[in-house]
């Protein structure tokens, strides 16, 4: 049986121009975050690079591993880290860098944000949490590639993402780092 990543590769095709793994960059990211990231997530982004899944769910990854870049991708100060404490009804989960805090991995133009929920000891068991642009929260079994596969093949299971409907041909739209930083 094919893994979710293998099935996504069948659906998306081989990437046109990315496809390079840089363990040093993920090591720097994991040191910055203080946790090991799920291998399926890093493998997907090593293969496809920064871009947008089917043109709507934007995903970034470190490309130079500098402290400034890592802080931009996963802020440790300011940001959302204390929102769970100040408004737990609106923010039912803690945010990174709090222990077990949500780690952002993607987002949409409408304000929907995708997170990893690092509650399990094995990152392969982490769940996906989605905060919709309307402020609703949804917890979905992971891993990230399993979530993306469900999005591509069974979007009705994720009906809270009402505006997304895959076309006849799913694509991953690569973007250069310059465009990702803009």
Question: Do the domain assignments include residue 36?
Answer: yes
For tokens 């590769």, name the residue: 9
Our count of domains for the chain comes to 1
List the CATH number of the domain containing 62: 3.40.1580.10
Model confidence band, residue 79 (pLDDT cutoffs 50, 70, 90): low
Model confidence band, residue 181 (pLDDT cutoffs 50, 70, 90): very low
Q: Which residues contact 170 (CB under 8 A, 6 or more apart)?
A: 11, 12, 54, 152
The total of other beta-carbon atoms located within 10 Å of residue 13's CB is 12
Do residues 32 and 70 make contact, with C-beta atoms less than 8 angstroms apart?
yes
Count CA within 13 A, CB hemisphere, residue 84: 12
For tokens 């870049």, name the residue: 69
| Full-model pTM | 0.89
Q: What is the DSSP letter of 102?
A: B
Write out the residue range of the structural domain in which residue 121 sits.
4-170
Question: Do the domain assignments include residue 181?
Answer: no
**Which tens digit of pLDDT belongs to each residue from 161-173?**
766 666 677 888 8
Q: What is the DSSP letter of 7?
A: H
Of 134, 138, 98, the C-alpha closest to 115 is 138
The mean pLDDT of 117-140, rounded to a whole number, is: 94
Q: What is the spatial distance between Cα 33 and Cα 123, in angstroms, rounded to a whole number?
A: 13
Question: Do the domain assignments include residue 31?
Answer: yes
Question: Do the domain assignments include residue 180?
Answer: no
173 vs 125, higher pLDDT: 125
55 vs 10, higher pLDDT: 10
Question: Do the domain assignments include residue 177?
Answer: no
Q: What is the DSSP letter of 162?
A: T
Q: What is the spatial distance between Cα 80 and Cα 78, in angstroms, rounded to a whole number?
A: 7
For tokens 């802020």, name the residue: 75
Q: What is the spatial distance between Cα 78 and Cα 25, in angstroms, rounded to a whole number?
A: 23
Copy the structure tokens of residue 109: 């133009």
Helix (H, G, I), strand (E, B), or coil: what is residue 58?
A: strand
> Which sign does the torsion angle of CA 69, 33, 93, 81 carry?
negative
Question: Do the domain assignments include residue 99?
Answer: yes
Question: Do the domain assignments include residue 110?
Answer: yes
Question: Do the domain assignments include residue 182?
Answer: no
């Amino acid at each position: 049986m094919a893994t979710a990543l293998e099935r996504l590769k069948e659906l998306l095709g081989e990437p046109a121009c990315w496809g390079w793994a840089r363990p040093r960059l993920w090591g720097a990211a994991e040191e910055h975050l203080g946790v090991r990231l799920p291998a399926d997530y890093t493998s997907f982004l090593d293969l496809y690079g920064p871009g947008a899944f089917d043109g709507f769910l934007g995903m970034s990854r470190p490309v130079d591993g500098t402290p400034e870049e890592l802080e931009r991708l996963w802020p440790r100060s300011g940001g959302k880290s204390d929102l769970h404490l100040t408004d737990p009804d609106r923010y039912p989960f803690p945010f990174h860098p709090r222990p077990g805090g949500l780690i952002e991995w993607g987002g949409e133009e409408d304000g929907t944000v995708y997170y990893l929920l690092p509650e399990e000891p094995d990152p392969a068991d982490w769940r996906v949490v989605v905060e919709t642009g309307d402020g609703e929260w949804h917890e979905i079994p992971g891993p990230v590639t399993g979530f993306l596969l469900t999005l591509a093949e069974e979007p009705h299971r994720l009906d809270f993402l009402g505006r997304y409907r895959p076309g006849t041909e799913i694509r991953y739209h690569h973007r250069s780092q310059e465009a990702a930083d803009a």
